[in-house]
Chain A
């Protein structure tokens, strides 16, 4: 069973940030509405065309945020025929793309709107505290693991122990990503950055320094996905969903089977098989960079290199502009923006690259892009492979 070419992304939208914050003190519903309107305008569609809605978020909790697709639909004046609030963390939106394509393929909806927003920076709501110590979290939170950085740090230590990976190799990722951000006028952090800067930035959770960690910003994004039939009448050329996979291996970090391998090994394999493409055919890659180690583990788990070889793979600024492996071309969660659940912005950047709308940071002749989301503490993954005609 495959959803290959069943659906295309025809619209994307987001909102500008100022120093990581949304403008005008907008609320989390306002910015989602603005992003949705922009994505629909981009596609040449109206809100009355939308019959499928996909929303996940961390806002309005406890409270109305428990029902995000319902609340957002009400705010936008949309009554869908298909609704999905799948919440698997930052990779939720890559999963939404797969679910939307399957729904479109089976005729359950024709025009799907995927939405995310966060005002965590404006609200100063982000802390390193663990989750309330109930149910499975009662075995973790009492020990004070900074969340989520501590769990990613433990994965980094294990990788270093098993394979001899070095902090400067992780820093290569942060530096290369910053170089992309310097080409993106909308990126939050655009100052020159060196490997030395990363290694001398304050240690947060050994071995991860401050500059190994993603930003904490606001942000909103929207994606419009339609059937092949509807794509013919849209304003923008279609970006096809060629393949998608999703999986999760654990929630509590104690339950992660191997701290050096993520479930991208499973979700990536399915996405590649569905798309019928090889690693060499991918022109531009967007990988969730909550931390530098997330990128390294995902590259290995996806099979771009062997287990343990991620450090060498990213060395010598291979993933920077001009390198032979263009990665996180908007500046990533490390330097562009990271509003809590970043996955939707990976998809938006992949679409802009495939449409050749990426300005100074455009990777020339990009035809196929791979997007790999990760959520929780290396818990969930979803991989989408996109292609243009």
Chain B
């Protein structure tokens, strides 16, 4: 079996992946212009301030868009098809790529409410999303 590609953490992402291990979805907020930022950076891409702080996202959002992978995104995902890859727009306004799990793939739609769940994958914990009852 081919192992799935896992993140190679760096100075930007160490805190993010550690947060996932503790089941916290951490994003950044600029202290100067109040923008929320994802993925993590050393400065704010809106105003270039270096005063970016970690904040915990509510983990609640909606599906901005999605696809159902009928062919795997590389051999490591061969046994998973069909699976949903989606762009999640969190309440705070930032988008992140993830999977929608615990769902009938044909029931996913744009703007569907979702919430974060954490899934262990090798030495990492990845943030994934499941439909949210409202």
A residues with a Cβ closer than 8 A to B are 127-130, 132-136, 138-147, 149-150, 153-155, 157-158, 161, 202-208, 252-255, 259
Contact = CB atoms under 8 A, between A and B. Distances in A.
Contact of A142 (B5, B66, B68): B5
Contacts of B109: 161
Contact of B67 (A127, A133, A157): A157
B73 A158 contact: no
Contacts of B75: 127, 129
Interface string B1-32: 00011111110010000000000000000000
Interface of B: 4-10, 13, 38-39, 64-77, 80, 83, 85-87, 95-99, 109-111, 121, 124, 126
Say whether chain B's binding surface is mostly helix, strand, loop, or mixed.
Answer: mixed
Contact of A128 (B7, B39, B73): B73
Contacts of B80: 144
Interface centre among A133, A135, A143, A158 (most CB of B within 10 A): A143
A136 to B, nearest CB: 6
A143 B70 contact: no
Given A161-B109, A254-B87, A143 B99 contact: yes
Contacts of A136: 39
A209 B39 CA distance: 31
4 closest A-B pairs by beta carbon, nearest first, are A129-B74, A153-B67, A161-B110, A138-B7
A336 B126 CA distance: 41
A318 to B, nearest CB: 27
Given A144-B72, A254-B96, 13 more contacts: A128-B72, A129-B74, A129-B76, A132-B8, A138-B10, A139-B39, A144-B4, A144-B83, A146-B72, A150-B85, A154-B85, A157-B67, A158-B64
